[in-house]
Amino acid sequence: MLRLSHRWCAAMLLLATCGRGEPEPADLQALRLPTGALLSPDGAWLFVSNSNLDLGVKTSTLVVLNLRALDQAFAEEPAPADAELSAASPCRVSEAMSKETAEKAQQVVECEERYFIQRAHSVRFTSGAGNIALDRPIGDDGPWRLLVPSSLEERAVTWIDVVREAGGIEVDCGQDGEGECDAAHSLQRLGNDPAGARLPSDPARIFVDREGYRFAYLPHLLGARMTLIALDAEYGPKITDITDASQSFFSTEPLGKGVLAGGFAVDQRACDPTDAPPSSEGCTRPLLYASHRFWPGVRLFSVETGRDTIVRFGNHWLLGVNPYAAGDRPFMGEIEFLDPDVGDRLLAVHTTPPSLSLVDTSLGASGEPLNDPIDSVALCHNPNLLAVHRPKQGEAIAFISCYSDDEVAAVALGSFTVIATIPVDDGPNELVVDEARRKLYVVHTLASTIGVVELDSASPRRLQMIRRIGLGG
């Protein structure tokens, strides 16, 4: 997440650009303030959302990086640092890195992104794009459906279908000749009814259910609200429930001011029908966790599946972290289960104080999860997002992006210690683990680049940024 609120950034830009005329159309073959990324299930493509958080162009975009073409380009000898790049020679040694070290073994190779993005794969939609969630509406053999929340202007969730064909893909959101997604692919109101309640402001990170319940969940950074999206409606996804602000789905900050209340991320606890928590009603409904943004803990919730409405359970303060030790906020970032197939340990990022907690979510005497913090480790400043590397052999590693420090922390999950703090480009945000390539992709919002970190345990450059997609600036 950015240091400042999206709406504040937008307001400042509007003041600064008053009188300059209409913004230009967004470039369909570029990285520009990217915020979200998603690896395709076949590992061939990296979907990237460009946010347009400064409103410097007309819209956000979704662009698609061809990872196989990038593999081939990175395998070739790069051009020297001052070389002009072209389709025939798209990569070079980074000038900044070449000044810092003369050792080839430490160089970063950078590639111009436009040579790996096809314009036909790119679309334009509402500004303020965030993360990208994947749905597979008709199973593994069907199309991939991407859901992207946008927080600025006409806030919405845009859904985009990706169809595989003859080794390539086709991207469809009903776009016109300029790549603009149509209104039918934009979720803005309850029930998709023009008279329905408006999608609340400040949508955060969207999460698609992974236990077979056909829903997506969208917390909101402000306003204490949660949105439920049914994925199997007649004409595509549909907003079916928005919690009322008066219900305080998310708690207000605990430092006495009681003003800010919102959520950040959602994850789902696996359910075993032979040992199901009572709240799951025998695994007939999901058991979900949502991180508060301005309160140091999580809320548990579910869905009344027959009515497609949200059911609230209790809040759980993560006692291993003391927010009173620091006057800053927000408090919580992303959450993710250590083993999604088991669900007995939860990783929770604390933005303030900067740390990662391990939470015992195994079932207690009541049959419900304990939700007790059992370990914590300090991190670099302003951590928010999390990704877990789960090698077939060796210790799992959690990576956490620290936006303020331009670093990514690596935490070995067996010993629960920081084993590396990796310098990256400006504004690290989304993290994506590519297990097949043994790489970590780091989305740099402010630099408008994507870093590639080596994860191969046999490499002398393990846990270093070795490549850069995009030239930045």
pLDDT in tens, 277-318: 999 999 999 999 999 999 999 999 999 988 999 999 999 998
Q: Which of 176, 155, 158 has the alpha carbon at shortest distance from 47?
A: 158
Q: What is the mean pLDDT of residues 14-34?
A: 78
pTM of the model: 0.93
- Residues 82 and 94 sit within 8 Å (Cβ to Cβ): no
In sequence order, the 6+-apart residues with CB closer than 8 A to the CB of 25 are: 57, 58, 59, 124, 178
Domain boundaries, the chain: 379-473
Check whether 11 has a pLDDT greater than 50: no
Check whether 395 has a pLDDT greater than 50: yes
Residue 12: per-residue pLDDT: 43
Q: What is the mean pLDDT of residues 22-27?
A: 93
- Residues 349 and 333 sit within 8 Å (Cβ to Cβ): yes
- Output 379 or 253, whichever has higher pLDDT: 379
Q: What is the mean pLDDT of residues 390-400?
A: 96
Least confident of 96-110, 269-283, 386-400: 96-110
Residue 153: band (very low, low, confident or very high) from pLDDT cuts 50, 70, 90 = confident
Rounded CA-CA distance 439/399 in Å is 12
Q: What is the mean pLDDT of residues 169-177?
A: 97
Backbone angles phi, psi at 334, to 5 degrees: -80, 155
Q: What is the mean pLDDT of residues 211-239?
A: 95
Check whether 328 has a pLDDT greater than 70: no
Least confident of 69-83, 216-230, 241-255, 378-392: 241-255
Task: Give pLDDT tens digits for 452-464.
Answer: 999 999 999 999 9
In the predicted model, what is the mean pLDDT of the chain? 92
Residue 13: band (very low, low, confident or very high) from pLDDT cuts 50, 70, 90 = very low
Residue 321: per-residue pLDDT: 56
Residue 3: per-residue pLDDT: 43
Task: Give pLDDT tens digits for 346-355.
Answer: 999 999 999 9
For the chain, what percent of residues have pLDDT higher than 70? Answer: 90
Residue 158: band (very low, low, confident or very high) from pLDDT cuts 50, 70, 90 = very high
Q: Which of 241, 359, 201, 242 has the alpha carbon at shortest distance from 291?
A: 359
- Residues 148 and 132 sit within 8 Å (Cβ to Cβ): yes
- 379-473: which CATH architecture? Beta Barrel (2.40)
Check whether 164 has a pLDDT greater than 70: yes
